Amino acid sequence: MDALPSLLVLLLGSALLGMGVLSYTGRRREWAASGRALFASGLACLHMGGALIVLAIAGFLLALVPPAVLRTLLLVTTVWGLVGVAGLVWWPRVLMPRWFRLQVEHERADRRAVRTSRRARRRHWWVTTRRRWVARLRGTP
C-alpha cells in the first residue's frame, strides 16, 4: 500500500517525460505555435518528468538506502524540478532544441520586418508628429 503513491508519481513522470521527448525531437510542435514561443511547456515537461521519476525512485528506495543518499536524490529532484518550473516561463537558449531556436529567430525577424516596413515607418512618423503638436499645444497658454 505504501508503494501506490510512488507508483502514481512514476506514471505521471513517465507521461511528462514522454511528452518532453516528443517536444525536444520536434514530433510534437503544436505547443510552440507562432506567437506562443515564450511559453515553453513542451520543453519543461522533459525536466519535470525526469524530476518526478527520480522522486518516485527515492520513494521506492526509502527503506533500503541510507539517509545521505535520499537527501542527495531529493536535492537532485528539487533542482531538476525547479529547472522545469522555470522553463514554463523562460527557457535559456542553451537548453533549446535547434528547431525551436530557428523558429524563435524567424519570428523575431518577422517582427523586425513589420517594424521596418513602409507603412510602419509612416505610422511612426505620424504618431511622433502628433505627439509633438500636442506637446506644443499644451506648452502654450
Residue 38 scores a pLDDT above 70: no
Nearest CA to 103 out of 24, 33, 21, 27 is that of 33
Give me the residue spans of the domains in the chain: 3-139
Pairwise pLDDT comparison (85 vs 91), residue with the higher score: 85
The one-character DSSP state at 21 is H
Q: How far is CA 130 from the centre of its chain?
A: 40
Residue 106 scores a pLDDT above 70: yes
pLDDT reported for residue 114? 66
Mean pLDDT of 91-120: 77
pLDDT reported for residue 34? 56
Q: How confident is the model at residue 50 (pLDDT cuts 50, 70, 90)?
A: very high
| 64 neighbors 21 (Cβ within 8 angstroms) | no
| 45 neighbors 55 (Cβ within 8 angstroms) | no
- C-alpha 79/C-alpha 40 separation (Å) is 18
| 97 neighbors 26 (Cβ within 8 angstroms) | yes
Q: What's the Cα-to-Cα distance from 80 to each of 15, 21, 76, rounded to whole Å?
A: 16, 16, 6
Angle at 36 between CA 32 and CA 41, to 5 degrees: 60
